Amino acid sequence: MHNYCQAMRPEDLHGLSNVSDPQLSPDGRWVAHVLTRVDLAENAYRSHVWVVSTDGASPARQLTSGWSDSQPRWTPDGSGLLFTSSAKPKTEGPTQSLRLLPFDGPGETVVLAESHEAFTGVTVSPDGRMVAYAQRVRSDDYLEEDPARRRPRKIEHLMSTLNGEGFICDRPSNIHILRLDGSGGAPVNLTPGAHECFSPSWFPQGDRVAYSWNPFRPREASDICIVDLDGAVVQLTDESGATFAPIVSPDGSQVAVLGFDDWSTMFQNEKVGLLDPETTMATPSWISTKVDRTWSSMMARSLPVWTDAGITAACEDHGNVHLHRIAVDGAEITPLLTGNRGITGWSVGEVDGAEAIAFTATDATNPAELFLLIDGEERQLTHASDGWLAKTNPIEPERYVVEAGGVELDAWLFRPRNFEAGATYPLLMNVHGGPFAQYGNFHFDEFQMQAEAGFVVLCTNPRGSSGRDSDWGASIRGPKHHTPGSGWGTVDYDDVMAVVDDALDRFDFIDEQRLGILGGSYGGYMTTWVITHTDRFAAACSERAANNLLALEHNSDVAGFFSAEMGPSHLDDPDEYLRMSPSTMAKNINTPLLIVHSENDLRCPEGQATELFVACTLLEKDVEYWLFPAENHELSRSGSPVHREQRAEIILEYFGRHLQ
């Protein structure tokens, strides 16, 4: 028997695996998927395409062995499997490629196309003759290898940068097609120009492609267009709201989309709608309104899927992500996969003549694995994390409901490892980002590490979060919005504090003198806001935070978006943004504060952290500031393995020093 150390510590981040992007083969015998693991020696993430049989008769096996492979897509006859491959960083020449792997017999993997830019949204035409994808197109200035000799960039629109991508104004995303039928030829750019085009979807005849289109209007929002193989474009939507992720029906008569009608309601519950491909400048017919939840979850990476029975799509609900079947007329929405878990990806097809859904799912104690639903029964097809789970032995949270201020708040509490009755423990209150996002029933390494370090771990989804009805998400819109809420730092603050108060009343093992609070992005905002309004916490960590909303609306990669949340433009009413900015209240901070940020964060630029640090330092507050090089807003989720471990160690050591 192995003598496993049952714990989850920062160094155990290197053992995490993630199964994603399930793709059921046309004959129903196989599921291709992606398995991502950490390569500690290279300080990188390595992903490869694997395949597993749907009958469970044989274990999953690895198909590809590149540096980083992803996006497996079957050819319609199942004879081949397309995938994308990324070369090792700093490789000379093109680093991205699109490849075709023979599956029904022997043969060599064929490189179909190569580029310096990633292939995204890969989709094969129904007749198997062509593949479409989105890809960034670099300007000729990039031919000069020395950046010091390149011409200056001409910035002509908002969203000239994108977090994790850098500058995109001189490398727009266009839709490309490439022939697979043996006729060869170079890829063809169907949508050249300085606009963002993404998410291609084929019509059944293989003669047209629907796609999302952002022309960089003053209001950054996307519409749906169709392009034929000669490059002729028609626009389906009328620019009144935002629509994206088009999926063409099997008969080509309709296009399903995600989105909303009114630009000023973005960041709220997004709906599933239908468009007539022969009607231009229209608004979608929304068919998901019987279930008032967001149908575009940050956790669920797959797009809706058409079947004869309707559209299969995922929505968030009270900390879960569930899969439903939406009737095309919107009259009925049928749950397919529910429970205390998060569905992260899915593929619909047939196995032995019966409808089957291959899906990936995670819960509070298990990273995502691959499952198959057939005839109402589920079976687990992969066990990529079994060894890691045996070593780390995740802690199961207690889920309960807090009634406060006339609302019911979902809450989760993790007891510390080796909990002993009669002892008291420090508490860490976690606040998620967004604010339109949710905590819930999915594996979260940070909670496990905090509990392992001896803390009671608490989280909730305050008003303004996702996973509830539209009014819940809209409740913290600015009070000057045309559909007003109370603004950031109001009822959301009340809800966070109410859950803390309830935990102190409900659990006598929490030491009210040793309370900590932390969060990232909007969670960092709320952390800073909390400690400018109360001294109840003994320590706080504000990470990648939005501390000055006025500066954020000027400098973020999504500058211009925040007025959709706040109401008035920051140019017309700067005081409204400053009123809700906790950095302007730094004089009120009496709580020891840890600030964590990344140098390349474009969503909440580094100045958001430095401004708060400067203010606290000049005011002689107890402040500590860590700034990570070569990282962006996604440090905690996809930063380098070494930096993710260092970040976790810094945060746990800080709270250990102040609370234990």
Rounded Cα distance between 561 and 214, Å, is 14
pLDDT at 589 over 60: yes
Q: How large is the average pLDDT for residues 337-349? A: 98
pLDDT at 636 over 90: yes
Tokens describing residue 251: 């008969």
Tally Cβ neighbours within 10 Å of residue 418. 10
pLDDT at 2 over 50: no
**What pLDDT, on a 0 to 100 scale, did the predictor assign at position 106?**
84
The one-letter code for the residue type at 346 is W
Tally Cβ neighbours within 10 Å of residue 485. 22
Which helix (H) or strand (E) segment holds residue 650: the answer is helix 641-659
Q: How far apart are the first and last CA of the chain?
A: 35
Q: How large is the average pLDDT for residues 25-47? A: 97
**What pLDDT, on a 0 to 100 scale, did the predictor assign at position 1?**
28
The one-letter code for the residue type at 398 is E
Q: Hunting for tokens 């978006």 — which residue is that?
A: 561
Q: How large is the average pLDDT for residues 238-260? A: 94
Chain-centroid distance, C-alpha 517:
23
In the beta sheet, which residues pair with residue 458?
Answer: 413, 429
**What pLDDT, on a 0 to 100 scale, did the predictor assign at position 262?**
81
Rounded Cα distance between 145 and 390, Å, is 48
So where are the chain's domains?
389-659
**What pLDDT, on a 0 to 100 scale, did the predictor assign at position 216?**
73
Read off the pLDDT band of 6 (50, 70, 90). low
pLDDT at 397 over 70: yes
Q: How large is the average pLDDT for residues 4-29? A: 90
**What pLDDT, on a 0 to 100 scale, did the predictor assign at position 494?**
98
Residue 304 DSSP SS3 = coil
pLDDT in tens, 147-199: 999 999 999 888 899 999 999 999 999 999 999 976 768 999 999 999 999 99
pLDDT in tens, 547-569: 999 999 999 999 988 998 999 99
**What pLDDT, on a 0 to 100 scale, did the predictor assign at position 4?**
39
Chain-centroid distance, C-alpha 195:
23
Q: At what angle do helices 641-659 and 445-452 cross, to 10 degrees?
A: 40
pLDDT at 217 over 80: no
Q: How large is the average pLDDT for residues 230-235? A: 97
Read off the pLDDT band of 287 (50, 70, 90). very high
Rounded Cα distance between 424 and 79, Å, is 61
pLDDT at 493 over 80: yes
Q: How large is the average pLDDT for residues 323-334? A: 97
**What pLDDT, on a 0 to 100 scale, did the predictor assign at position 239?**
87
Sheet of strand 44-53, all strands in order from the earlier edge strand to the far edge:
18-24, 30-39, 44-53, 61-62
- Was domain 389-659 assigned CATH 3.40.50.1820? yes
pLDDT in tens, 135-145: 999 999 999 99
Q: How large is the average pLDDT for residues 109-137? A: 97
Structural contact between residues 59 and 356, judged by C-beta atoms closer than 8 angstroms: no
Q: How large is the average pLDDT for residues 103-131? A: 94
Low-confidence winner among 238-252, 420-434, 498-512 (lowest mean pLDDT): 238-252
| Mean per-residue pLDDT of the chain | 95
Q: HSE-up of 375 (CA within 13 Å, CB side)?
A: 5
Structural contact between residues 458 and 429, judged by C-beta atoms closer than 8 angstroms: yes
Rounded Cα distance between 292 and 297, Å, is 13
Q: How large is the average pLDDT for residues 209-237? A: 89
